[in-house]
């Protein structure tokens, strides 16, 4: 289990979402499960989407948009075996965005 590392930026503008909370990435049979708690002000300002980014310790980043819910399962086929990944989650609406990241997790 890889809990949030506390990295967060943005979310201070009027109407933009605050950072997602408690980002955790864990391994499962289906793949890497990334879950998070919604932005604290999501009910007030609204969140159009969450963008989950897999940030490897090497190579290119991969993004997925989540428009409903607060969970994403990343198929192992989309990751390099033995790699170490950090997963960031960005909350976005028309006024701005805010992101936070998980602690690193090895695949």
* Lowest model confidence (mean pLDDT) among 12-26, 37-51, 62-76, 80-94: 12-26
Contact (Cβ atoms closer than 8 angstroms) between residue 58 and residue 90: no
The whole-number pLDDT of residue 13 equals 52
CATH code of domain 4-106? 2.60.40.10
- 52-83 burial code (b ≥16 CB/10 A, e <16): bbbbbeeeeeeeeebeeebebebeeeebeeee
Q: What is the pLDDT of residues 12-38, one digit of tens each?
A: 556 889 899 999 999 888 889 999 999
User: Which pLDDT band, with edges at 50, 70 and 90, does 9 fall under?
Assistant: very low
What lies within 8 Å, CB to CB, of 44 at 6+ separation is none
């Amino acid at each position: 289990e890889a809990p949030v590392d506390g990295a967060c930026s943005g979310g201070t503008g009027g109407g933009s979402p605050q950072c997602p909370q408690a980002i955790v990435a864990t391994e499962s049979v289906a793949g890497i499960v990334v879950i998070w708690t919604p932005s604290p002000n999501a009910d007030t300002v609204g969140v159009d989407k969450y963008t989950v980014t897999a940030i490897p310790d090497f190579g290119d980043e991969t993004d997925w948009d989540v428009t409903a819910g607060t969970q994403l399962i990343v198929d192992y086929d989309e990751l390099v075996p033995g790699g170490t990944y950090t997963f960031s989650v960005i909350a976005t609406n028309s006024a701005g965005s805010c992101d936070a990241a998980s602690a690193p997790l090895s695949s």
